[in-house]
Amino acid sequence: MLKEKRHTLSQAAEKLGVSPATIRNWIKSGRISQVTKSDTGLIFQEQEMNQLAKAIESGRLPYLRSRRNKTAVKTQAVPVGYLAVDCYNLLAEQLLEIALQLNPECRVILLLLEVYLQLLQTQGKIAGIRDLNLPLTLTWLSGELDLAAYTELAKEMLALLPDLRQAEIEKLQPLVDLEFKYVYGQDLLGLIYMSLSSIGSRNQTGVYYTPDPIVQELVENCAEYLAKQEPLVIDPCCGSGNFLIALFIKLKRRLSQQGLTVEQVERKIVSQLLTGIDIDPIAVILAKMNLSLLLEHPELVNQLQVYCQDTLQTVNPTTTFDLIIGNPPWGYKFKRSELKQLSKDYSTAQQGGGESFNLFLEWAVNHCAEDGLIAYVLPEAFFTVKAHVHARRLLMRNGSWKLICRLGFLFPQVNAPVVSFVYQRNSRLRSAQVKIMEENRVYFITCQKCLLDDYGSGIFATPLERKIIGQINQAPNLKYLKNNADFALGIVTGNNRKFVQKYADPDHELVIRGKDVYLYRLKAGNNYIHSQLENYQQVAPERFYRAPEKLIYRFIGKYLVFAYDDQQLLTLNSANIIIPRLQDVELKYILAVLNSRILQFYRQVAFPSVKVLRKHLEMLPLCCPEREMQAPVIRLVDQILTSDDGNTQYLLEIYNQIDQLLMEYYHLPAETQEYLKKRYPQIKYL
């Protein structure tokens, strides 16, 4: 019997679209009853969570009925990992609870303004508060509190609410009981803004605020390569200012060593060196508020150079910067008319597929001084996807990368690995080597040729990995699937809830999902769809599903996972199909090669993608000897196909025997064979 799936506190909160604090309240009130304690915290049962989720979505849960119109009830959450400050994460959770009692049209502005005033008061930057038991916003608007140099920032925020009633301000009263502690250099305002923004129907603009540890690391990395003591710096997509905060602190320390007074240092930074731009008016005000909290001389607040503008419309190559740093939007959907206009100034608007971060890269190249730096946070796909090759070549023509940091899956709910990089614009000298930093290793690569390649093949390969790739490419009897196989996508139903059911009947048949695909074999779940394929949104020609033999593979994942099918099964779009047509090569032999350690390694190094793409599969080198040498491999494959699911040790032994034969066929040296075995000691999905 399968154990019921369980959830941790944070997982339960995310599933239900509420904060962990709400979950705790529901436990106390008895709304959640199936909860147990473990060494790691509270544990919740899947069945009860599903029932609550349905109740929330339908509006049957009284606690949430009054806010059914707010789609963010499903997605409300404090972004974990943005700040490494526990007290701020807890405070953000508490503020989310209060926010739900406020008018959706004004709660973001009011809460952010009140938090800002509370932080000013905590730091002693505003004085003369007579009644600490009232919201500071109310005290200020009643004329009983003088914000002095910070008045204009408060007015600027409040101006975003033209019609504001005192009754709404009075609803801020619960904030008075909260503890506001200012942690120097931490973007509490941005954390709250992101949390609050997830409550309503947030526009999908491709904006992902960068976690503070990554910000700090990138700023430090830039300092290593930045020669100027007083660089002109800009964040062209500054958001709430997390990069600006780190840069202000870094520049202040650097300039203070020159014998200048604090006032002189701060004046130079805010009026000359540091600039921020963003298209979001709230974020721009927050960035200025964040910087104002850092200033020891508040009279400099009105000199902050943070502007609400469309960076891409700000084209002035005569203004250049020594450092352009930030996290530009990813996947922003431009209107056709916008792209047409942008194409007048940006070649990447057309040749880069209109990807927003490519345009920000081109903007940076155009506005970066000679020997200046560009430091961005981008999806790793920038280096490995054909759509971005024009932007890569643009940067290659104008300078070279100094450092690339592979950060892995950095952003929650974004299924894409992330990189940060430092690039130097230099039309004269090009660095041949690039430093690569990963979690457990640092190495150098020569990536000029890789970057010019459509897919950046092997760009992140170490010298040893590159050597092994070369050995594999030199194997005898190599063949490729390109022009030698039929590829078919799994079925896109358009609505799985409607079309996929959990029981069989005369009109419905078994369908395979990606989760059902294991190495060599299928472990089908209980998913059935109607046999009339014309019902669905996207379907491959039926002959591919009904082929006498075919290979089914997981479309999403780090690993190649291929299974054999001779039952003419249908597949959903998470499980795609290959029918090889290589002359004199048996399908089961190809299955073994695709599942081998050799091609796991080759694909992960040459084509590091979260998707198993057809174009990558077509470029995998398949060692295909004569039929007599294929036969022992096929016999072992048949043993796996007919073996007991539970005998994992036996399966691993057979897998290793297959792998040993294939390594010999590829003529891999003994040390390479040993390396691959150590790299993949445990075989996943077997």
Q: What is the pLDDT of residues 457-471, one digit of tens each?
A: 788 888 899 999 999
pLDDT in tens, 310-326: 999 987 777 899 999 99
Q: List beta partners, residue 444.
A: 435
Q: Which residue has the higher pLDDT, 330 or 517?
A: 517
Given phi > 0 = left and psi -120 to 50 = alpha, else beta, which region is 353? left
Classify residue 494 by its DSSP letter: S
- Check if the beta carbon of residue 488 is closer than 8 Å to that of residue 576: yes
d(C-alpha 596, C-alpha 475), whole Å: 15
User: What residues contact 336, with CB distance under 8 A and at least 6 apart?
Assistant: none
pLDDT band at 61 (very low <50, low <70, confident <90, very high): low
d(C-alpha 576, C-alpha 571), whole Å: 7
Print the SS3 string covering 270-333. HHHHEEEEECCHHHHHHHHHHHHHHCCCHHHHHHCEEEECCHHHCCCCCCCEEEEEECCCCCCC
Place of tokens 């203070």: 256
The least confident of 11-25, 110-124, 278-292 is: 11-25
- Check if the beta carbon of residue 672 is closer than 8 Å to that of residue 468: yes
CATH architecture, range 212-427: 3-Layer(aba) Sandwich (3.40)
Helix pair 9-16, 46-58: axis angle to 10 deg: 30
pLDDT in tens, 632-642: 999 999 999 99
- Helix (H) or strand (E) segment spanning residue 543: helix 542-545
d(C-alpha 591, C-alpha 402), whole Å: 41
In this prediction, residue 413 carries a pLDDT of 64
Number of H helices, E strands in the chain: 29, 21
- pLDDT at 118 > cutoff 80: yes
Q: pTM for the complete prediction? A: 0.80
pLDDT band at 411 (very low <50, low <70, confident <90, very high): confident
- Check if the beta carbon of residue 408 is closer than 8 Å to that of residue 439: yes
pLDDT in tens, 228-255: 989 999 999 999 999 999 999 999 999 9
- Amino acid letter at 676? L
Task: Count the residues in the chain.
Answer: 686
Average pLDDT, the chain: 88
CATH architecture, range 1-68: Orthogonal Bundle (1.10)
Q: How many CB atoms lie within 10 A of CB 71?
A: 14
Q: What's the token pair of residue 66?
A: 């009054």
Domain boundaries in the chain? 1-68, 80-202, 212-427, 478-679
- Quickly list H helices, 550-613: 587-594, 597-606
CATH superfamily membership of 478-679: Adenine-n6-DNA-methyltransferase Taqi, Chain A, domain 2 (3.90.220.10)
